Chain A
Amino acid sequence: MSGLSRRKLITGGLAATAGITGLAVADRLAKAYGLVPPDAGGIFGPGETLTYAAQSLLTAHRPAREFPRSMISKDPFAVPIAPPTEAFKKSQALGFSDWRLTVDGMVERPTAFSLADLQSLPVRNQITEVACEEGWSYVAEWIGTPLSGVLREVGVLPQARYVAYFSVEPDEWDSLDMREALHPQTYLTMGMNDGELPVAFGGPLRMRVPMQLGYKNLKFLHHITVTDSMKRFGKGLGSASPEGGYAWFAGI
């Protein structure tokens, strides 16, 4: 009996040591390779970190699913938007010709892009699904210019790690890590289903992130800041979502 318990004690001790060492090593590796999300604190931190790290490793360089044109939803759904402000209505009356997307932060050439400027960059299209965290979804064609091209235009500094982006709507802001910001399907979207992007769906300019759920796809985009840390933005959790209780990473 004493032999058995000693063996158990040694095995248990070794397993515990291996476990703790493994966790410490995993923690160091996760930090070194940017696998810890900005909202990694608190009781949901371990789960969130596991999800973000696993998905980042698993999905590196993968494209979100694309669909044939025949699968475009005839009845797409958009969460009702707040009544537009006077400034927005004025811009809308001008056909959004005065709409500007300012890109600043850790870039060599901070720039304010008009929609025409963005249209002059390579314009691409994708037929992908918008999936809401509530459970519903629709497939649509999205037309726009990849964010990666805009970031190339402004010259992102090497220490940059996140791209924060802001809607004209108050408290609507979010961020992507560099990997997702440079993802070829991450678009600054100006068109939908062969037409202009309707205001109800975020027109004139919407961030399209098909690798993540709907709430990362901010409507009415007007400002982008490139940064090495999300600590200085809001409560430092990476986006407005965690401040409202929602995960920063919305790939699941």
Chain B
Amino acid sequence: MATTSPRAISATLRHAAVVRVTHWLTVLAFLALLITGAEILISHPRFYWGESGNANMRPLFSLPLPTSRPWVNNGFGTAMPDGNGWGRYLHFEAAWVVALTGLVYVLWGVWRGHFKNHLTPQRGERSAGALWRVITKSLRGGRAANDEAHSYNALQRATYLVVIFVLFPMVIWTGLAMSPSFTSAVPAAASLLGGRQSARTLHFVITLLLVGFFGVHVAMIALAGFWKRTRAMITGRASTAKEDA
């Protein structure tokens, strides 16, 4: 496993099988978590800071949404369907899929040097200036250079690292911090975040960041050629330069 050049990778596979399988499992589970999370959210679309908060207390902020439960009284009526039962069952089942898939991916990634070789910004790119050049280049709207079909630029690498090692662990932590059972074993999970309601609010904010990443990620793929990139993540094979031309 010597340092392989981007060209050598393209000759074999753009994405390893483990990356492809864990990627699509995560996509499925993430969408399930997002839909069920929204379903649970509309039963009480108010957010608080600290340990506790309820309909009798002033919220930190409140979403202008109709609710699925009559006693929330958010000012927009009770027009939403109530799906908390299946929503919660599916939310936690999908959370297991994300957590176990993530565990396999991270262990494999460390073992095979995936993070070091493919996701850590390359030596010359580890500065704010280099990162800025990548950002301005992408903002100028140039299509991704051909070599980017085979390797990630510094901005992509930094973003993936933040999503994998900050946002996903944080969303799992803040979720577990809402469990009365889990916090009996690990009280610090809630207290370090400022309490149960702070954890719930952070869970929502981190979800927004993940949705933001998801949107930009899909948009960038669409810009680079949706089917070309999607095919690479399914079959593992990147298009050759000839196909691109």
Residues of A within 8 A of B (CB): 44, 46-48, 50-51, 55, 58-59, 62-65, 67, 71, 73, 75-77, 79-80, 129, 131-139, 210-213, 244-247, 251-252
Contact = CB atoms under 8 A, between A and B. Distances in A.
Give the most central of A55, A79, A134: most B CB within 10 Å. Answer: A134
Interface of B: 40-41, 43-44, 46, 51-57, 69, 71-72, 84-86, 88-90, 92-96, 176, 178-185, 187, 190-191, 196-197, 200
Where chain B touches its partner, the secondary structure class is: helix
A59 B181 contact: yes
Contacts, number: 131
Given A75-B56, A77-B56, A48 B92 contact: yes
Contacts of A136: 44, 46, 52-55
Main secondary structure of the interface of A (DSSP, over half): loop
7 contacts: A47-B89, A64-B183, A65-B187, A77-B56, A134-B69, A212-B181, A246-B85
B181 A252 contact: yes
A135 B44 contact: yes
Given A47-B93, A47-B96, A77-B56, A67 B178 contact: no
A65 B177 CA distance: 12
A136 B55 CA distance: 7
Nearest to A58: B185
B93 A48 contact: yes
Given A44-B89, A44-B93, A79-B71, 13 more contacts: A47-B92, A47-B96, A64-B181, A64-B183, A131-B178, A135-B41, A136-B53, A136-B55, A210-B180, A212-B181, A245-B86, A246-B85, A252-B92
B88 A46 contact: no
